[in-house]
Structure 1
Amino acid sequence: MRQLHIDLVSDIACPWCAIGYARLLEALHQLEGKVQVSLSWRAFELNPDPDLVPEPILPALARKYGRTEAEMQQSQQQLMEIAKGLGLNFSGMQQRNTSNTFNGHRLVKWAAGFNQQSAMKLALFDAYFGQAEDVNNKAVLLNAVQAAGLDPVQAQAVLDSDAFAAEVRAEEAQYQNAGIQSVPAFIINQQYLISGAREPEVLAQALEQIAAEITDA
């Protein structure tokens, strides 16, 4: 069976990243028996300011994209419908605030040591998009740790220290320097880039083609 490794560059505060991962799982189901994939989550911050003051998401997005709040509300509603079709909980989508995600990324790095990166990331997606919680709040982060089946006591020690901070910063710089400006970005075998949350069929076709090219090389 052909083997691929995907580095998935994403942010916890990026709805398309959650959708992109769910679509990836559907694509991999289509490729069952043809392609085997391992995955690493890589850090990217949409709001990298550590002093970010949370504000309601709709006016923040309207200002960022130069659109009205009504337009952003409609756009967010469309995302909620897409997410629902993929089994994702986006019920808190329009009630959430902007949030810095640096500490969440540190916990995703920590979770890799337990082979639980995806579980940690999904718990954080659910906290932010499903529950509209502040994913820079320590109690929220620890609840997500528990939801991911990991030890909150160990996670507390991580949050109370600078553990994994240098790794997250280095990773973010690496992908920015490589030209990644938007997420999700799927980097396959450190050679191929698929940008955006493609439909499962499109993603499956691209991965199968890449696997064939790597095998034939």
Structure 2
Amino acid sequence: MQVEIWSDVVCPWCAIGKRRFEAALERFAHRDEVTVRWRSFELDPGAPQERGGTLVEHLAAKYGTAPEQALGMIRQMSDTAAADGWEFDLEHARGGNTVDAHRLIHLGAEHGIQDAVKERLLRAYVAEREPIGDHAALTRLAVEAGLDEAEVRDVLAGDRFLDEVRADERQAHAYGISGVPFFVVDAKYGVSGAQPADALLQVLETAWAEAHPLQVLTPAGESCADGSCAV
């Protein structure tokens, strides 16, 4: 079974959704047969490499609300995240363009450590005040996740994996994905948003049952049916 997850590293709900999916997967009986692939989605493709100002100011301007209300939104989200094991520090988050972060996540996939790279970059943004578009920060974080420093620098110096990022984004458009996180199971079942672990587990079980129908290997024998038996 393959699960593809479209998300962005500056998306707090994506971090929450990751934890909820992990909780669902832990309870899934066939978890060892599930392949997870992280797909690229840029919430703000036109963002500068490093955004000035605070997230509170950015949200207040984006939604036309008072800074106090924006701060309340952030704190409410942080409380939600805490229930799923995160310690957010969004008041001091340092946003920016995420295309290079996505390219490094694809590099992680090439080396079999995509989830570790995704986790490290998510945590850097939502909890550690790291400038998510800065190449020096990205290099250090990617190395901490297990990637080779020289290769990371080479990727960031060019446009390697840019085609893969754009392909993910085209597929998201084809699926009609407009918000993240978005989970796609076996290219058939789509789940939008950071759904509870129980809901995600149900989707996994449904997809598995459909892909592995029960095979009856012997002819039908005598049995009881319709709530009655002749005795």
| Same structural fold, with TM-score higher than 0.5 when normalized by the shorter chain | yes
Which residue pairs with 1:135 in the alignment?
132
Question: Cα offset for 1:34?
Answer: 6.9
Whose Rg is larger? 2
**Partner Cα separation in structure 2 for residue 29 and residue 201 of structure 1:** 11
Tell me which of 162, 167, 186 is aligned to 2:164. 167
Tell me which of 58, 61, 84 is aligned to 1:60. 58
Q: Are the counterparts in 2 of residues 35 and 208 from structure 1 also a CA contact under 8 Å? A: no
Q: Are residue 75 (structure 1) and residue 73 (structure 2) matched?
A: yes
Q: Residues 31-71 of structure 1, C-alpha deviation per residue, up to 9 Å, x if partnerless?
A: 13577321000000011015466132112112223332222
Tell me which of 178, 183, 192 is aligned to 1:181. 178
SS in 2 for 1:99: coil
Q: Are the counterparts in 2 of residues 89 and 126 from structure 1 also a CA contact under 8 Å? A: no
**Partner Cα separation in structure 1 for residue 50 and residue 155 of structure 2:** 23
SS in 2 for 1:45: coil
How is 1:34-53 mapped onto 2 (pairs within 5 angstroms)?
36-49=33-46, 51=48
**Partner Cα separation in structure 2 for residue 22 and residue 120 of structure 1:** 15
Question: Cα offset for 1:83?
Answer: 2.2
Q: Residues 55-107 of structure 1, C-alpha deviation per residue, up to 9 Å, x if partnerless?
A: 321121122233322222122112222222322231x2111133110000000
Q: Are the counterparts in 2 of residues 7 and 187 from structure 1 also a CA contact under 8 Å? A: yes
**Partner Cα separation in structure 1 for residue 78 and residue 144 of structure 2:** 22
Which residue pairs with 1:209 in the alignment?
206
**Partner Cα separation in structure 1 for residue 93 and residue 152 of structure 2:** 24
**Partner Cα separation in structure 1 for residue 206 and residue 156 of structure 2:** 41
**Partner Cα separation in structure 1 for residue 75 and residue 145 of structure 2:** 27
Tell me which of 142, 146, 152 is aligned to 1:145. 142
Q: Are residue 114 (structure 1) and residue 111 (structure 2) matched?
A: yes
Quickly say closer, same or farther: Cα 1:114–1:53, change in 2 above 3 A: closer
**Partner Cα separation in structure 1 for residue 86 and residue 180 of structure 2:** 18
Matched residues, percent identical?
34
Which residue pairs with 1:104 in the alignment?
101
**Partner Cα separation in structure 1 for residue 102 and residue 129 of structure 2:** 18
Which residue pairs with 1:123 in the alignment?
120
Q: What is the RMSD computed on CA atoms of the aligned residues?
A: 1.8
SS in 2 for 1:39: strand
TM-score (norm. length: structure 2): 0.86
Q: Are the counterparts in 2 of residues 76 and 94 from structure 1 also a CA contact under 8 Å? A: yes
Q: Are the counterparts in 2 of residues 35 and 211 from structure 1 also a CA contact under 8 Å? A: no
**Partner Cα separation in structure 2 for residue 164 and residue 148 of structure 1:** 18
Q: Are the counterparts in 2 of residues 23 and 197 from structure 1 also a CA contact under 8 Å? A: yes
Q: Give unmatched runs, 5+ long, in structure 1.
A: none
23-32 or 13-22: bigger deviation: 23-32
60-69 or 115-124: bigger deviation: 60-69
Q: Are the counterparts in 2 of residues 8 and 184 from structure 1 also a CA contact under 8 Å? A: yes
**Partner Cα separation in structure 2 for residue 210 and residue 69 of structure 1:** 44
Q: Are the counterparts in 2 of residues 127 and 140 from structure 1 also a CA contact under 8 Å? A: no
- Aligned residue pairs total 213
**Partner Cα separation in structure 2 for residue 64 and residue 52 of structure 1:** 18
Quickly say closer, same or farther: Cα 1:64–1:204, change in 2 above 3 A: same
Q: Give unmatched runs, 5+ long, in structure 2.
A: 215-231
Q: Are residue 196 (structure 1) and residue 193 (structure 2) matched?
A: yes
Q: Are residue 86 (structure 1) and residue 84 (structure 2) matched?
A: yes
TM-score (norm. length: structure 1): 0.91
